[in-house]
Structure 1
Amino acid sequence: MSGQRKCPECGSSKVEEDSHYSQNHLVCTECGFLLTEGLLTTTRSEETFSQAVRYSETTAEVKKPCRNQIQGQKRVHDLCRILRVRPVVEDTAIELYLRAYEHQSFLHVTLEKKEALVGCCVHISCRQHNWPLTMSTICSLLHVEPALFSTVYQHMVKELTLDIPTLSLLDLVKTHCDGLNLFQNSASVPSMFLENKDKVVDRALQLVELASETWLVTGRHPVPIITAAAYLAWQSLLPVHRLKCSLGKFCKLAGIRQPPPASLRVKEIVDILLRLASQLAWLASQRLDAKTVVKYTNDILRHRALLLRQTLSLAWTENAGGHMDPSEGTATETGRETEGGGEWTRDGEGGETGPSPQDQLSPTGNMGPGHKRAAPIFLPPCLTQRKKRKSCPEAEGSQGTEPTTGEEEISDSEIEQYLRTPDEVAAFQAARAIL
């Protein structure tokens, strides 16, 4: 065999046969390069079918999934079955779990984070297939802290570069209301508290839309707003027996956890309902407060667009100096000064003339020069609930002192601080000449 073939590494023709474990190999005697390799069998099945494989392939290690990975896959499967998602959602969730489990960032993490990883994969899969699901639902099923779940979720999205579509708030309302225990007969829920799910979902959707139109949703977490809307919708459908039921008792009956800001969202939505209810003519003689206005939620939502337009027009006119006649929708004279100083006058023919053009209120809520800016009636929460900034120590120390006018006398010690020596003057002149 020697001299028949050349070594591809060194080009030498000294190639000889070498018997290794009863297998023949062609080896270069100059550099030791292995030209051909003998064939071995690995398993009994291969020997049965006379299938020969290379020796290098027989030494390849087959990596088996570990016990935690198998348990995680089973958890993903069980969670998808509990949520009753489509098979394609379950397949995507298992694929995401395998990708994340093998990723370097999730190899050496705690068991709590791996448990949260299961929920993150299911949540992301549902979002990608337009299956509305909230994080609070996943956290309640897995008994995972929301802060830990959010951290793992953001880390997973960043490391795997996932594209997650946005979810509609109205879809979240339907999903959140589906989880309430007030729509089915239960021994723990009295009959007066049971309600039709379609009615609650429909009215809660309208309340969320109203909150969105009045800037209450801007920059807010959706779950507290949805909980508040569902609570008010459920109350308004049978106010006689449900007005005395608090938000905490409602969440307990519904089998959900009460979000901490939900009580504040209830108060904000009720304030909007009170403001709009004051424009209804048949409620002018009624004494409305935060508890009784829920009775008229149906009327307010039915005429929502008109009431919003009238409320904004009324606020605009009051800021401009007149008042609004709800029946006519026009401003009438008041004969008094506006907040900024403009006033309504009459012309020689008995007609009315409003303030001068520079004094009239613009649609953006600004008045002309010399007038105070009128505050809009609806504002985002970031403007209505600003955090007070801590004043600087220097500003606190300067309070109570007279403002600086520039006419104060300058002491000799202050003047000496600004006097320059001859060397400084020369250096300044030289630098100025260079510039």
Structure 2
Amino acid sequence: MEELAEDFYRRSYSHASFLRLSLQKKEALVGCCVLVSCRLRNWPVAMGSITCLLETDPALVGGVYQELLKILDVDVPKTNITDILEAHCREYKLSSADVPEELAESSKDLATRSVALVELAADSWIVTGRHPIPIMMASIFLSWQSLKPTKTRLKYSLNKFCKLSKMPMNKTALTRVAEMKEVLWKLGQELPWRRVGEEMAPDDVLRNVADILQHRYALLRAALQTHEETLQTHKETLGTGIQPSTEDLRPEQGELKSVTGDSDEEDSLAPAAHWGKRMLFAPPCVRHPKIRRVDTAERADVNGDEEISDSEIDSYIRTPQEMRDYVQTQHALLSEDAQSKGE
């Protein structure tokens, strides 16, 4: 593999497109040659890993990588996040030799549970357009907690877990953990053996991850059906002007509080202008669309220092008729107050 990467580097470095490069781009070129070699040999290496090793801009590495593929004219097989995940799990130091037995977990079990969580995240649009490293870290963290949901593991935060496993923490992974927990919570509400009227706590979600993943397709259909019925009921109650009672609605049909503390479900029940707010599962760009800035054209002839004309001043002064009406209204109000106090 080293010889293949060196060969790619010699061929690309002598090309006209890479003759005059900065030192940063030359380092990115070396990393891209290694990445191409790994993918040709079916080594699951992510571009984010190369970027972290080089400590450079991901956009820069991506641009150099695309240009390198055109120059070398090689057909690199596309890697799936689930393929990379198995290799990524081995980087976490969670064996019994590294951590206490209560916190130890095999990389094989972590990979199996993490792959299932990533597949569920893909079905609920969490993976769409997202960087793989935060998603993999979030899935591994939730897998580690859910495989043995003891009080000790459930108390661990993502930051503490990364320190335990000797992995650098990715701040974006905190958001992915919250999003995955929210999806698991929504599906956990549809478990048939859950008590009616009982709301599932965040810790209970992690204890039921195995059941949720095993029946995730049926739970996804049930959650979507429940959400559509809730929207229809809410629309009918708004049309009649009657406020829906909490007794008639199931807990997940009323005001929902997600495990992240967000109110996405409340926004989805409200008649939002954007259709993404009404969807239970939707791509991130649809659920949280960026508000485009509207540039208002300012009038060049108005600066705030203009003189006020007499007609504008007169428009703010009450006319004699308005003054008489005002005085009569004041007398009428005072007389009514006096009569009410006398009674």
Distance in 1, matches of 2:226 and 2:194, equals 17
1:319–1:338 CA contact under 8 A, matched in 2: no
Distance in 2, matches of 1:311 and 1:292, equals 18
Gaps spanning 5+ residues in structure 2: where? 243-273, 299-343
User: Equivalences for 1:74-153 in 2 at 5 Å?
Assistant: 89-142=1-54, 144=56, 146-153=58-65
2:166 equivalent in structure 1: 255
Shift of 1:281: 3.2
2:80 equivalent in structure 1: 168
Counterpart among 234, 244, 247 of residue 144 in structure 2: 234
Deviation per CA, 1:288-310, whole angstroms, max 9, x where unpaired?
23344212111211221111111
1:276 equivalent in structure 2: 187
- Return closer, same or farther for 1:140/1:387 CA change in 2, 3 Å cut-off: closer
1:244 equivalent in structure 2: 155
Counterpart among 258, 265, 282 of residue 379 in structure 1: 282
Shift of 1:264: 0.7
Gaps spanning 5+ residues in structure 1: where? 1-88, 323-335, 344-371, 396-435
Distance in 1, matches of 2:50 and 2:178, equals 28
Shift of 1:284: 2.3
Higher relative CO (Cα under 8 Å, sequence separation at least 6) belongs to 2
SS of alignment partner, residue 310 of structure 1: helix
1:35 equivalent in structure 2: none
2:8–2:72 CA contact under 8 A, matched in 1: no
1:319–1:339 CA contact under 8 A, matched in 2: no
Distance in 2, matches of 1:193 and 1:231, equals 12
TM-score by length of 1: 0.55
2:189–2:199 CA contact under 8 A, matched in 1: no
Return the index of the structure with the highest Cα Rg. 1
Deviation per CA, 1:131-161, whole angstroms, max 9, x where unpaired?
2111233344455554543343234234444
2:68 equivalent in structure 1: 156
- What amino acid is the match of 2:292? R
Distance in 2, matches of 1:269 and 1:202, equals 16
User: Equivalences for 1:410-429 in 2 at 5 Å?
Assistant: none
Distance in 2, matches of 1:280 and 1:143, equals 45
2:205 equivalent in structure 1: 293
Identity, in percent, stands at 41
TM-score by length of 2: 0.68
Distance in 1, matches of 2:203 and 2:54, equals 37
Distance in 1, matches of 2:232 and 2:27, equals 59
Query: CA-atom RMSD, angstroms?
Result: 3.0
Counterpart among 225, 238, 253 of residue 135 in structure 2: 225
User: Equivalences for 1:351-362 in 2 at 5 Å?
Assistant: none
SS of alignment partner, residue 391 of structure 1: coil
- Return closer, same or farther for 1:92/1:393 CA change in 2, 3 Å cut-off: same
For these two proteins, the number of residue pairs brought into alignment is: 265
Distance in 1, matches of 2:241 and 2:74, equals 58
1:185 and 2:97 aligned: yes
1:198 and 2:97 aligned: no
Shift of 1:251: 1.9
Shift of 1:195: 0.5
1:207 and 2:110 aligned: no
SS of alignment partner, residue 174 of structure 2: helix
- Return closer, same or farther for 1:388/1:224 CA change in 2, 3 Å cut-off: same
1:78 equivalent in structure 2: none
Higher normalized helix content (fraction of residues): 2
1:84 equivalent in structure 2: none
User: Equivalences for 1:269-348 in 2 at 5 Å?
Assistant: 269-284=180-195, 287-321=199-233, 337-339=236-238
Distance in 2, matches of 1:340 and 1:164, equals 56
Shift of 1:256: 2.4
1:418 equivalent in structure 2: none
2:184–2:205 CA contact under 8 A, matched in 1: yes
Deviation per CA, 1:1-59, whole angstroms, max 9, x where unpaired?
xxxxxxxxxxxxxxxxxxxxxxxxxxxxxxxxxxxxxxxxxxxxxxxxxxxxxxxxxxx
Shift of 1:282: 2.8
